[in-house]
Structure 1
Amino acid sequence: MMRLSYLLVTVAFGFCQPRLSLSSELSVKLNNNWERFVQSLITQPAKVTITQQQLNRYPVALLLPAALYPDLTRYSWQQITGLYHLNQTCAEPKDIELPIRAKAFELALCRQQLLPVDWFKQGELIHPAGGSYAGRYLKYVVKSGVTPLSAEVKVKLSQLFVLSNPGHPLHKQLMPLGPEGLNSLLNLHQWYLHSNGSLWVYNENGINKYENKIWQVTAKNNAIDLVYKANTNICQLAPGNFCIQEKPAVNFIRIVLEGGLILLSIFLLVKLLMNRYLEAKERGFILQLLTHELRTPIASLAMTVEQFRDAFDELSPSLQDTFSRLTFDYQRLKQLTNTSQGYLSEGKKSFLDSQPILLSEWLNYLCTKYGVMYSLDQDNYCHLPVYWLGICLENLIRNGLEYGKPPVRLLITNVNKCLVITVQDQGDIPSTYLFKLIRSNHQLRGMGIGLRLVKRISKQLGGKLKINKCPTRFTIEYPL
């Protein structure tokens, strides 16, 4: 008995499937794969199952979304408005011929006349203004409070409701289809693919709903894919609102080629990074070698400076000034070489090392060199990276002297464990240039390179550079 039932279901599903007489090999293959898909799907559990016996209890016209709206194809707008007037006033409008069944229904409601269930089964089921007669009648009975209907009568009337009425027995099962799905499944096609991925089928045995995971596995096993018609330009087989396409087989050659290209790209990228690393390492070695080799001429220069120092008193005043410049340049070159060597050999931290120094001595040296004044609120010993802060201040002082408006002054304060050094002149940087100097690498009359250097060194030291106008002020904040 079970085998006979299974055979009948299979035949029914086979009957509902589309068969197209296409000559191409692909079309024949798609038809065969579709047949196997249908036969495999009927063995899978359905999420919703509505038998044909259940469906036969309810008129199909009441299940369609069109049952909710006025039927303007059969009735005029004057007739529908006339029925509304009769419903509201219980007075029949003049010069309008109302539909006989609808007129009798509205007059019965006006007279509070109870209608038997058989009245709703005989004749038209849908009111000209939309909705079923049974649904409108039950709503009237509940609202008016006339003699309540028995439970048996309510059950019989519910079979004549439109599907959108929550009292319809199939409301919860079929309403998820939506208007498009109901029209497609009950009017046009026997298959419907919902936007949520569920697959619905309507055949001689009833309506079944299959979840996404169920039918997709079955489709994959039978080498087909279901694609919405709107998402494809080629559609050889369309049993519903979707097209059946051949699922492309796994192309191992393509996978191997794509994988090879990815690995090759990774290899080339790693090789490029490695080459850049080796080049940087080589440049670092050469720089270290040059720094090391500089020690010999610097040592020789030191001996020359000492010899000149021993005979300093014998030199003419002009040669004494020349000797002072020579001594200063020698000290600067020696400090730069030592700093570079420390940076290359011990890492970045060594060239940023601080040393204790009295602020007034350091500032006297800098300001005397450039002939500027400074103001110091508190003189004490501080641990500072003297060399690099000196580079920053000298750049700012030179910018002020060359591009600013005199006088140029240094203002040094201690605020919240932070040394604030401001180089100020009486100039006025335009707002547009000020924004560009702070935010980008813009150069203003030669100031860009020096400011970029100061900004970068200040950041490396853990501080920051601020630029203000009216008057022009360049401020370095260095945490102590």
Structure 2
Amino acid sequence: MRAYVALIGVAVLMAFLAGGTLLLMRTNERMVSGQDIAAISELKMSFQRDVGPLSIINISSYYYTNHHFKLTSPIYALPEFDRTDPSFYAHPGDCFKGVPELQGLFGHRKLVVWEELRCGMRTGLPEEFFEEPPFLHPSGSSFMYLAYLTGSPRFREMNWIIDRLPLFHVRELKNITELKGRLRGVFLILSELSEEELESIARGQGSVLTGKYLLARLIYKHAPGNLEYRVYDRADLDQFLSEADYTLMKYNNKRLCFFRDEELCWSPNSKKILERLNMSQIFLFIGCLFLMGVALAGLRNRLRDDRSEEESKRLALQTLTHELRTPITSLVLESENVSRDLEQLPTDMQDSFLRMSSEIHRLQRLTEASRQYLNVGREKGKVKLHPVQIPSLNEFLLDVARPFLEKGLIFKSNIEDRPFIMDSYWPSIVFKNLLENAFTHGVPPVEMLAEFSAGKLTIIVRDHGDGTELSSLKIGDEFQKGLKSSGTGLGLSIVKRSIFAMGGELKYSRNPTTFTVILRELKVST
């Protein structure tokens, strides 16, 4: 057995070594090295060299002033008025509401002109109305978009809209029905970005990764504020990285990142993990699995052999017990015959006979205990029950107690006599074992009390010892016995297993030594 344990230990150690290698690869996601950074930089350069962009967009060429640039950022489209529905400010109603409060601020005169138009106080707008800043209405929408929402044909004319595309806020472009399928270049790309991605553009971020594009900024020393981006197809990027050692995704502060590159996150390519394993590590892992398999197979065979050996021993003990019963019974009968004429024997012979008779009865108890234990141990330790109706519960208990009455047993039943369904054999074995244990190891007087309540039979066997011998033992374990016991240590094991098989309970307490057995009424087997 020790060899198998050692084999398992070696296999587990190898498993830790193999697993540690894989774990080390996982933990490398948190410990970027200079070599990793250099490899990622080289990968970025290779991508720009080998993969052509879809286009190059110069945002600054369309949004060249601070007022124009506000049309690309979501934060400048926050409404200053209570109403956030842009269509409200495109049609008559609540004219000039909130406008006086903005007097003195930049663009107040332009706001007044727009209110006069929508409320019917004027029929047209100044020629340069839309080209002059501010371009955003306090509602958060552009004046161009409010004009479009009025539904006026002059503000819906296609050429008029296309000539003034940079005067719309970029997030409004996708809402213009006439532009569907007609947007190109910078306006198409900006209209497809989320607010978070637009904010990244507005901050001048070096790289912006979206669901459809990768935008990589071009930096010019002579014009550091110029916003110009190479636009790559996301599908081309994924194809390029599929065979690389690293993958790319948007940075998320709720997820571990191997190497953060602004708002991008580089991670080792999981598909390359096996390629990073050398042959010795692979053999180590396979060897670990093989050793564990050998160890488990050996343990299985050992358990099978132990089970077979146990069954052989049990069969031998059953045979021996069976063969001993007949001569022991004959010896008991002969000793009882001789005991009738005991007084006729010489005094020294009487003492020898009594000692011999005591040993014969001890041998009989040993044989009976072994037989009972073997019966309990059949069929994987299950006790066979044969529930029958006992006509008189008091008579049954009295029959159990009768052999012990002459030894001084105090038997008391508080049961109003009634029938009771239980096994006819095992309860008597349980009670007799407890009584014999009390008389053999306990301090007299020994009491047996019977009670019945709520469908449960309660039997209490009590002697006046302190239970010291049993206190250090596991009550009911096989071959557990006190120092003064000359028995097999199987009695209480039989008691415990039998009670549990009958669905009952066994309780033990000290000072005085008390065993309490609680049995429930069984169902008659059909």
Q: What interval of TM-score do these two structures reach, taking the shorter chain for normalisation?
A: 0.5 to 0.7
Partners of 1:327 and 1:277 in 2: CA distance: 38
* Matched letter for residue 221 of structure 1: E
Aligned pairs for 1:175-190 (under 5 A) are: 178-185=194-201, 187-189=203-205
CA distance in 2, matches of 1:220, 1:445: 70
**For the residues of structure 1 that align with 2:188 and 2:361, how far apart are their CA atoms?**
95
Which residue does 1:201 correspond to in 2?
214
- 3-state SS of paired residue (2:136): coil
Contact 2:499 2:519 in 1 (8 A): no
Q: 1:88 aligns with which of 98, 108, 119?
A: 98
Q: Could you tell me which residue of structure 1 aligns to residue 301 of structure 2?
A: 274
Code of the residue aligned with 1:365 in structure 2: it is: D
- Aligned AA (2:399): Y
Map residues 184-263 of structure 1 onto 2, 5 A cutoff.
Answer: 184-185=200-201, 187-189=203-205, 191-193=207-209, 198=211, 200-202=213-215, 210=234, 216=238, 218-226=240-248, 231-232=256-257, 234=259, 238=261, 241-243=264-266, 247-248=272-273, 249-251=275-277, 253=279, 254-263=281-290
Please say if 1:103 is aligned against 2:108.
yes
Aligned to 2:242, the other structure's residue is in SS state helix
TM-score, normalization: structure 2?
0.55
What secondary structure sits across from 2:133 in the alignment?
Answer: coil
Q: 1:354 aligns with which of 373, 383, 386?
A: 386
Q: Report the equivalent of 2:140.
A: 131
Q: How far is 1:396 from its partner?
A: 9.2
| Structure 1 residue 392: Cα displacement | 6.2
Q: How far, CA to CA, are the matches of 1:64 and 1:455 in structure 2?
A: 84
> 1:162: which partner in 2?
169
1:107 partner letter: V
Q: Which is further off, 177-186 or 459-468? A: 459-468
Using a 3 Å threshold, how does the CA distance of structure 1 residues 227 and 264 change in structure 2: closer, same or farther?
farther
Aligned partner of 1:74 in structure 2 is none
Distance 2:343 2:175 in 1: 120
Alignment partner, residue 488 of structure 2: none
The equivalent position to 2:425 in structure 1, one of 372, 386, 400, is 386
Matches within 5 A, 1:249-328: 249-251=275-277, 253=279, 254-315=281-342
CA–CA separation in structure 2 for the residues paired with 1:293 and 1:23: 77
Unaligned runs of 5+ in 1: 1-21, 43-49, 72-85, 143-147, 427-442
User: Identity of counterpart residues, as a percentage?
Assistant: 12
Query: Aligned Cα RMSD in Å?
Result: 5.7
- The one-letter amino acid of 1:220's match is S
Structure 2 equivalent of residue 65 of structure 1: 74
The 3-state SS of whatever aligns with 2:475 is: helix
> Deviation at 1:290?
3.9
Alignment-derived partner of residue 153 in structure 1: 155
Does residue 476 in structure 1 map to residue 476 in structure 2? no
Query: How many pairs align?
Result: 396
Equivalent-residue separation in structure 2 for 1:68 and 1:455 (angstroms): 85
Q: Which has the higher contact order (CA 8 A, sep 6+)?
A: 2
Residue 190 and residue 120 in structure 1: after superposition, are their counterparts in 2 closer, same or farther (change >3 A)?
Answer: same
Look up the match of 2:475: 449
Of residues 455, 464, 471 in structure 1, which corresponds to 2:504? 464
SS in 2 for 1:352: coil
> How far is 1:119 from its partner?
1.4
Seen in structure 2, the aligned counterparts of structure 1 residues 91 and 331 have a Cα distance that, compared at 3 Å, is closer
User: 2:78 touches 2:139 (CA, 8 Å); kept in 1?
Assistant: yes
- The yes-or-no answer on 1:366 pairing with 2:379 is no
- What CA distance in whole angstroms lies between the structure 2 residues aligned with 1:190 and 1:125? 27
Partners of 2:141 and 2:169 within 8 A in 1 = yes
Q: CA deviation at 1:315?
A: 3.6
Taking structure 1 as reference, are residues 338 and 209 closer, same or farther at Cα in structure 2, changes over 3 Å only?
same
In 1, Cα distance between equivalents of 2:520 and 2:322: 34
Tell whether the 8 Å contact from 1:192 to 1:199 is kept in structure 2 after alignment: no
Hey, what's the Cα distance between the residues in 2 that align with 1:189 and 1:51? Answer: 16
Q: Retained in 1: the 8 A contact 2:321–2:371? A: no
- Look up the SS of the partner of 1:261 in the other structure: helix
Per the alignment, do residues 315 and 390 of structure 1 end up closer, same or farther by CA in structure 2, a change over 3 Å counting? same
Which ranges of structure 2 fall in alignment gaps of 5 or more residues?
1-34, 81-95, 177-182, 217-227, 345-349, 463-468, 478-491
Asked if the contact 1:455/1:465 (under 8 Å) is kept, the reply is no
